Structure 1
Amino acid sequence: MLSHITIKNLAVVDSLELELNAGLTVLTGETGAGKSILIDALGLVLGDRAEASAIRHGADRADIVAEFDLQDPVVEQWLKDNDLDSDGECLIRRTINAKGRSRGFINGHPIPLQILRELGEQLVNIHGQNTHQALLKTDEQRLLLDNFAGTTPLRKELNICYREWKKTASEYAQLKQDTAEREAKLALLRFQVKELQEFDLQENELAGLEDEHRKLSNANRLIETSQTIHFQLAQDEQNGINHLLNHCLVELQAIAELDPSLLPISELINNAIIQVDEADSELRHYLETLELDPKQLKWLDERISGIYDLARKHRVETHELFAHIATLTQELEQLENADVHLDTLQAAVAKTKKQYFKLAKKLSTQRNKAALLLAEQVIKHIHELGMERCIFEIRTLAIESVEPQLHGMESIEFYVTTNPGQPLRPLSKVVSGGELSRISLAIQVVTAEFSQTPTLIFDEVDVGIGGGIAEMVGQKLRLLGSNSYPDNTESRSKKAQILCVTHQAQVASQAHQHLNVYKQSDEQKTETHINLLNEEQRIEELSRMMGGMTITEQTRSHAREMRKQVLDLS
């Protein structure tokens, strides 16, 4: 529900703020006062096309901010799914600059206009000469009929069954296509798996092979250098490190008798001798493991080259080759058992398809029955709104297909004709805005309990009517705004909010809240203002609407009587 709107520098509005409540709110005023400015602003903030001409003369930018009191968990979930949630708030902003460029924001997040329109269709439904007429969409018509018929649990079951069938049928089609190419693919897979299995690659084998290859290919240098160091450590009796360190130790121990402080140094040299002996022993052991083996080196060359060749052949990295063997083996097993799996999938497709058509038939029965009842009730309200010769029909046309469809096996569309002798046409093709508004009003009155849109706006729904018909329109609008309907998902209610631009006092008298739109001009500027009227101000405005420029006490008395009748019935 729209709870607050701020408009700055739009058309002839300098700055305007409005608090709005549930129930029926009417906007009235003199011709040319700008009664539709609120609806125009709402259209823009909810994604309508913006032009620079909409900006107030002399201003750089127009700015519209609308705050909605969220009552629908579906909208709340939509905001969360799009990462636009802000603790249950819904604050929408639209700015338009002098170059005609605009930006949209939801809860402070910049978003594309398409997303803005998507949210707007869930928040506001505008009927009349404007956009956001969700009722003209066949998807909305189907949803209205289904909700009226109480088919929600059945539709959920049908949709689950449809998705299961779609998934299984897709798997079956893919496997069947694969089977058609099976022999060629099997031959290739068998060859590839046999080749890889015969190569007998071990996990992480390449790293070990490359280490050993590096060692063997440098064996000459390793042996020569190691032997030289071994000789220098211990084998040279005159200049070997071990011999020199032992000589130093004997000399130092001899003088340590003269100065005991040299004893720690002697200990360090003794430790060095031990370390050198250990190093020489390890080096000698290492030399024993080294040998020149041309055959092993050749085998390593061939093995490593084989691994790289296989990796290139299968278009994988060398470290992925071992896992690739398992993947190909599994794919081969699946393909070899494809016939069994194909039969299983075919049976599953047939089973889900049979279940779907069973549910679809049940849904069709409920829809056809509800279509007659809904059309009958809508026609009754349309006739009460002064269109006695209007014919309204809900057509459920079977979809000629042997395959399941997402929303059932029929298309649903509202048809109407307002002229005797003329064929019925889809509701979306109705040309007259006034006729469309009244038809929409009749449908909304019947289906209001199931409406998913909390705010309904009727722009000049009373065009071309007057007297008792106008009073009936007002009563139906008040009825729409007076009710609070169960949410269907939680133990709370959705409060209806109806906004209506009207020229008819009979309609305006029915409102819970009355807004008066007027212009103020001086030599430099013209501004549109909107005031919330108290009861006495409402009497004056109703009198003006009935009496024109000259308002008499008789006119005021008539206006008070109209209001009294409304309040007495409330």
Structure 2
Amino acid sequence: SLKRIGSRLVDIEGQNDHQLLMQPEQHLGLLDEFANKDDDLLSQYQETYELYQSTQRKINQKQANQQQWAQRLDMLEFQVNEIKNADLIENEDVDLQTEQERLNHFQQINNALQIVQGALSGDENGSSLDAIAASMESLEEISTFDDEYAKLNESVSEAYFNLQDAANEASRQLDNLSFDEGRLNEIEQRLNLIADLERKYGGSVTEILAYYDKISTELDSMTENNVTGDELETQLDKLIAKLTKLGGKLSKNRQKAAKTIEKEIKKQLDDLYMDKAVFEIKFMDHQPNTFYPSGIDQVEFYIQTNPGEEMGPLAKIASGGELSRVMLALKTIFARSQGVTSIIFDEVDTGVSGRVAQAIAEKIRVIADQSQVLCITHLPQVAAMAQHHLLISKEVHDDRTITSVDELDEKSRVDELARMLAGAEVTQLTVEHAKELLNMAK
């Protein structure tokens, strides 16, 4: 992601690596950025193109998967109806199993409650609660004599009231207890239905209901989109007509802008001593009902560098020195429209010298009015034109190569330009020449 973003912010240009400008698939975008007059028209086209693509996919899907579509639709309808008709309630299976357990063990539960009630509530010979109550009264009479007796009395009292509550609850449960064989059969049938659904759609009622929501949504979507093939074809024909109209308008605007760019590039190439060169934005032949994401056009930058030669693709036709100049001409035109904040020129002046080198230096300086330029160069004419001069050097320390970058002051800059001019031996004449280059640049 950072790489894609960075390519829009910092444009790194080498002799054979000119990124956007040297990629034919990017030329249409550059042309649109230069024209930049009718974004609404392009947006309308792209929205229509997305609908066109979507409709075409639906037609292809219907044609290729008509049987699978129908089978899936039938299956979803059956499953939705089966779960819907079951009328499930959240956690219903847990509640039914609890009730089933009580009914299946009715006699055991009844006997246990009878024993509890008899033991606590009493019979002819008196109840356990009566005996505990008597014990509680006796302890209460002696509780004031010692703290230990008071604690014992408190424990017995608490036990008495807890057992009294238990006796009342046992009596209530017995009053409500009844055996309904019809209800037991009803529960077993219901649990069998839920178990059948669990085997098909999930391990619990909660999972079954979640699956129901999912397939209901899918069924609704398929039902809504279940238009006939004829209806889809009609929609597609309308979209094709609209794309043809919008694409035609876009193409007309682009061809007009292309003529302007060709004239501007010609002026720039004249300044760079390529006055015989011819630059052309070539529009490929358009086939009817052929559409692309950004219009009906496919374009590529072409050039003829010398009279008598054939026009050819920019990326293939130019030599190293010619390519450097063509690239700078294009950069001069497109620097502002691209919105690139920084441009790195990595020895783009390779293969040129003399007056051409001076022309390239001046052209790079023009580009620097629109974007920050970092230029790696071995040409003194180019280095002299910059506002800042950074010297990159390498030294070996302890068998390791260390690269350093130093900003040069005015004197150091003169010395370095002199070395670039003279090579191994710097003379007073080359120093004067270096000063002259800097003065000319200023």
TM-score by length of 1: 0.63
SS at match of 1:502: coil
Deviations 1:331-358 (A, max 9, x none): 5566566556989877776666555444
Question: Match of 2:386, SS?
Answer: coil
1:127 paired to 2:127:
no
Letter of the aligned partner of 1:511 in structure 2?
A: A
1:284 equivalent to 2:160? Answer: no
Mapping of 1:306-325 within 5 angstroms? Answer: 306-315=193-202, 317-325=204-212
Amino acid at match of 1:408: G
Question: 3-state SS of the aligned residue for 2:284?
Answer: strand
- CA positional deviation for 1:523: 12
Q: Does the alignment pair 1:241 with 2:105? A: no
Partner of 1:405: 292
Aligned residue among 244, 258, 271 for 1:384: 271
The answer to whether the 8 Å contact 1:249/1:266 transfers is yes
Match for residue 451 of structure 1?
Answer: 338
CA distance in 2, matches of 1:529, 1:319: 68
Q: In the alignment, residue 21 of structure 2 is paired with which amino acid?
A: L
Is the contact made by 1:509 and 1:563 (CA closer than 8 Å) also made in structure 2? yes
Matches of 1:280 and 1:119, distance apart in 2: 78
- Tell me by how many angstroms 1:242 deviates: 2.9
User: Of 227, 231, 234, which aligns to 2:114?
Assistant: 227
CA shift in 2, pair 1:120/1:329, >3 Å: closer
- 1:428 maps to what in 2? 315
Letter in 2 for 1:236: D
Structure 1 387/292 Cα, relative in aligned 2: closer, same or farther at 3 Å?
same
Unaligned runs of 5+ residues in structure 2 are none
Alignment of 1:15-54 (within 5 A): none
Distance change (3 Å), C-alpha of 1:419 and 1:201: same
* Structure 2 counterpart of 1:564: 439
Q: Which residue of 2 aligns with 1:396?
A: 283
Q: 1:407 to 1:197 in 2, by over 3 A?
A: closer
Q: Deviations over 1:180-234 (max 9, x none)?
A: 5565445444544444444443443222211101111221211111111111112
How far off its partner does 1:436 sit?
1.6
3-state DSSP class of the match of 2:439? helix
Alignment RMSD, CA only? 4.4
State the identity as a percent: 29
The counterpart of 1:146, out of the listed 12, 27, 32, is: 32
Which residue of 2 is the match for residue 472 of structure 1?
A: 359
1:138 positional shift? 2.5
Of Structure 1 and Structure 2, which has the larger fraction of its residues in helix? Answer: 2
The residue type paired with residue 36 of structure 2 is: G
Match among 374, 377, 380 for residue 501 of structure 1: 377
Which has the higher mean CA deviation after the structures are superposed, 285-294 or 333-342? 333-342
Query: What corresponds to 1:42 in structure 2?
Result: none
Residues 468 and 372 of structure 1, relative CA distance in 2, 3 Å threshold: same
Note if contact 2:244-2:289 (Cα within 8 Å) is conserved in structure 1.
no
Task: Provide the rounded CA distance (Å) in 2 between the counterparts of 1:286 and 1:146.
Answer: 85
Distance change (3 Å), C-alpha of 1:307 and 1:380: same
Residue type matched to 1:285 in 2?
R
Asked if 1:305 corresponds to 2:192, the answer is yes
Q: CA deviation at 1:378?
A: 1.6
Q: Could you say if the C-alpha distance between residues 533 and 232 of structure 1 is closer, same or farther in structure 2, counting changes exceeding 3 Å?
A: closer
Letter in structure 2 aligned against 1:365: K
Give the Cα–Cα distance (whole angstroms) in 1 for the partners of residues 174 and 85 of structure 2.
Answer: 36
2:121 touches 2:129 (CA, 8 Å); kept in 1?
yes
Q: Distance in 2 between matches of 1:319 and 1:502?
A: 75
Partner Cα distance (1:444, 1:325) in 2: 60
Q: Post-superposition shift, 1:402? A: 2.7
Equivalenced residue count is 439
Distance 2:402 2:82 in 1: 86
1:314 partner amino acid: Y
Distance verdict in 2 for CA 1:203–1:174, change over 3 Å: farther
Cα distance between partner residues in 2 of 1:396 and 1:550? 54
Question: 1:378, 1:442 within 8 Å by CA — same for their partners in 2?
Answer: yes
Q: Secondary structure of the equivalent of 1:377?
A: helix
Corresponding residue of 2:23? 137
Pair 1:435–1:382, CA change in 2 (3 A): same
Q: After the TM superposition, which of the residue ranges 377-386 and 437-446 deviates more from structure 2?
A: 377-386
Partners of 2:13 and 2:344 within 8 A in 1:
yes
Of 534-543 and 388-397, deviating more is 534-543
Against the structure 1 CA distance between its residues 277 and 437, is the aligned structure 2 distance closer, same or farther, given a 3 Å change threshold? same
Counterpart among 231, 234, 255 of residue 368 in structure 1: 255
Q: Gaps spanning 5+ residues in structure 1: where?
A: 1-81, 83-114, 485-494
Q: Please identify which structure carries the higher strand content.
A: 1
- In the TM superposition, residue 178 of structure 1 has moved relative to its aligned partner by 7.3
Give the 3 Å change call, closer, same or farther, for CA 463–176 of structure 1 in structure 2: closer
The whole-number CA distance in structure 2 between the counterparts of 1:307 and 1:377 is 78
